[in-house]
Each structure stands twice: as C-alpha cells, then as structure tokens.
Amino acid sequence: MKIAVLNTIEIPDTSERTMEATFLTKGNLGLNPNQQLANMGQYFIKSNAGVLKDFGVNCDISFTEKKVALRLRTSSTVGAFPLVSPSSGKHEIGMIIIPRFGWSGIGSVLGIAGWKVVPKLLRLPLLTKSERKIPPWVLSLTLLPRIEKLLQHLHRKFDFQEQEISTPRGQVDWTKYALHKVGSFKMLEVPCRFPSLQYNEELKSAIHYTLLLHLHSLQTQGTSGAVVFRLINYCQDLIKKVVECQAMKPPPTFFDRWNRVPIQSDAFREGIQTIQWTVDERGLAGLGELEGIPWMMHMEKFFEGWLETLVKRVALLSGGIVKSGRLKQTVAPISWHPPFLGSQRSLIPDLVVEKEDQVFIFDAKYKHHWEEIRESSWANVGENLKEQHRYDIFQVLGYSTLFPNKKITACLVYPCSERTWRSLKNRGRLSHRASMGYGERQVNLILTAIPMAGIIDQLVVEIIEILKQAT
C-alpha cells in the first residue's frame, strides 16, 4: 500500500483529532503494516514528548482490527512547531494549532486591547515548507516589537573622527601640525583624532529596509480589520526613528558579521534574527517558500487580557478601582505552618474591582464550558466537564473569602463566538445568577460569556447591566 506524505498537521486549540498513523511513514508498508505503524507511532510520541508537553498536547495510539490511529488532544496553547518524523529521524513534520475562534476574531480584539499578549518566537528548528495557514499580519505583530527593542538597545560603537579644529582635542598629530601648519601660518588648524559615539549607519539602514517590507505587507492586508491599521501606525512610528538613514537591503555578509559581535544582548541577537527572517521572507508556519518560524501563544492569557480591557472600560464608566492578576496586583499569599512546599502558595484572582462597599471578582476561563453546557443538558455533559465546571465555581467562591466586604459578586467569564453571544443575548440567556448568604454577608455568583469580537461598546453595556441585575 502506497502512503501519501503529510507535512503539516493542523488542529484548533482545545480540541481533539484522530488521524490514521499512515502519515508517519514514507513509501510502502511491509507485510505487517499495523505492527509497523504501531512501532512508528510509539517512536513518534517518544521523540516529540518534550515539545508536545510544552504545547500541552496529549498524544496516544488507538488500535482497532483494521487500523492504527494517533489521537491528538490540544490545550489552550496555539502555535506552530516542528516534529521528528519516525521515517527519517528529522524534523520533517510541522504541527499548527490555530485559535478555535479564528484569526479574524483575534485580530479584532488585538486592535482594541493593544499588545498585552502576542505570539512568542521559539528557539526550535524551523518548520519545513508548508501551506499559507497563518495571516501575514501575525508575523508583523510578532516581529515589530523585536525591532523596537533593537532600536532601544541599538549597538553603539566608538568611531574615531579626524578633523582640523582650533582647540586641541583628543590625540593631536603634532608632526603634521609642525610640518604643514606652523610653516604656513595656519596655527589655528590643529589636526586632531578623537572618538565620536555614533549609531552604526549600516545597521540602521538594514532596520529601515526591514520596516519598509513590513509596512508594504501590512498595506496590502486592509481587509483584515483594525489590527492591521494599528500595526501600520506602529510600523510608521518605528520608521521615523531611522528615516535619516537610507533603506538598504543587507547583504549576506551583514548577518555573518553582526552575528560574530562578541557581546550581544537578547534584544540585539533577536533583532538581527528578525531582520534576517524578514529579508528571507520567512513566515510563521511557512508563509513563503522557505521554512516557517516556530512560535506559541497562550490563549488563556490572551482571553484574560481581553477581559481586562473590558473590565477597565466598565470601571471607567461605572466607577471602581481595578486590580489585575496579570500585573500581580491581586496576589493573596497562603502561609502554611509548618511550610508545605507541595501545595498552593497563593490565590490570584484575574481581576478585582473595588467600588465603595462592593467587590467584583472576575475570573477568565478559556474553556468550552459555556457553549457546551448551554447546548447540552446537564445530564448529557461528560463527567470530566462537570468536574472542571465545579472546580471553576469552587475556585471563584474561594476568591470571595479574601475580602471582608458585605457585598461580593464573583463572575466566571467564558469565551464564545459572536454568533453564539448574540443568540444568547436575544434569548435572555447571556448570564446565569445565584446568590448565597451567611448573616449579613452576601455573595452573588454570575456565569456569563463574552465573544472574541471587537464590539467593545456593546459588551461593556451588557456587562454593566449583568452586574446591576446581580447586585
């Protein structure tokens, strides 16, 4: 049986995919194909265990009488990375985990929330040539901050400048002065050589060229939404810092020379790498004809950043002081006596809003809970999902014990699509509320959802209304 070669595995985050293990081999299978595929599957899992763990991907083998399959279960981490092929022992397979709400939704949110969470480039082997799966603007989003850091920490060197000046400075060429100036009665023309601290013009020219490539690419992507226009403005602001240097494409010797600089900061090394990747037209997961750049982004952090943007807007309109777990402003240490290193050391609510005698706690949950529980009856929901949902509730109620206020509102916030959000809103099912009281103390519990969509004004209005109804 002849086998088709698969170069790229594509799967959404927090999902599951089962694939026949035939993609692991090249050419024809032997007399016992299932045993051969099972062995190759085990080799595949063992060889890639480290990177699969880093991305939160679980992989196991399933057997039937007729076929051997690999089952992949992704977490909330998206990105692209190379995998070792059991056929060659080389990084010949690429895996791409895409956001389950699509890049258009991610882009619309980024365009409003700023750059709280962006893709992180990885020190892994490049991916083999693959299809155009990642929007080009994501590459600019990832690389432009690197260029900004390079400009902030731009390598400086002392260049010696030779000039004839009236006042001696630095090293004076007295022999030249005596032979050519004294006899000619030009005694106020003193030949001097002194250090001048200047930015390297060649490097700035290469940066200018790199930024123009990103700018031209972004200007062709106007249909991708507000995030592209924000990136265009970002790029233009960076160009202003190097506009005095003519944009020039760096030759291959440029990178050899700069990579040999003995003292390199991370900003310098990554900046030079960014220039080279841009000039070579490399892309995330293989946008061009060359290899793709490995990267990752944690969607739970991304969703938390989006919720933070909304809550800050809510607090601005309705009052209250916002504290962010992302900025370590909500950390509540847990002191064990005697010390117990193997347990929880602190509680960190994602967001806390303090308003007069009330406290509002927001916890972002990048999970399927909301959609699945809304679309299925509780009796039909899997036991694992039920257990995770109970854990979420107990966790946010645990956060409520951190505050002495009499009125506390704890909100569990789940993501959804814009279409699902509008459907829930129209049916009056956008939130569910419960109330618990003990003496004078009252805790309100809210379950709600927000979409990955840039309709921030509508979302803020609905969140304010949901909080009013609960309190």
Say which residue, 258 or 148, is predicted with more confidence: 148
**Global pTM value:** 0.79
Q: What are phi and psi of 285, to 5 degrees?
A: 65, 25
Q: What is the pLDDT of residues 287-319, one digit of tens each?
A: 444 467 888 999 999 999 999 999 999 999 998
Most confident of the ranges 42-56, 243-257, 393-407: 42-56
Kindly indicate the confidence band of residue 264, based on its pLDDT and cuts at 50, 70 and 90: low
Strand 8-12 relative to strand 91-98, pairing: parallel
Between 234 and 226, the higher pLDDT residue: 234
Q: How far apart are CA 375 and CA 460, in angstroms?
A: 25
CB-CB contact of 442 with 436 (8 Å):
yes
The answer to whether residue 50 scores a pLDDT higher than 60 is yes
* Number of Cα atoms under 13 Å in the Cβ half of residue 346: 10
Strand partners, 443: 408, 436
| Amino acid letter, 271 | G
Q: Average pLDDT for residues 377-385, to the nearest whole number?
A: 63
Measure the CA–CA gap between 1 and 31, rounded to whole angstroms: 10
Mean pLDDT to the nearest integer, 232-260:
89
Q: How far apart are CA 85 and CA 434, in angstroms?
A: 52
- DSSP 8-state symbol, 16: E
Q: Round to whole Å and give the CA distance between 37 and 146.
A: 43
For residue 119, give the nearest of 132, 102, 137 by alpha carbon. Answer: 137
Dihedral pair phi/psi, residue 118, rounded to 5°: -135, 160
Please report which confidence band the pLDDT of residue 263 belongs to, taking 50, 70 and 90 as the band edges: low
Taking all residues of the chain, what is their mean pLDDT, rounded to a whole number?
A: 83
Cβ-contact 464, 448 below 8 angstroms: no
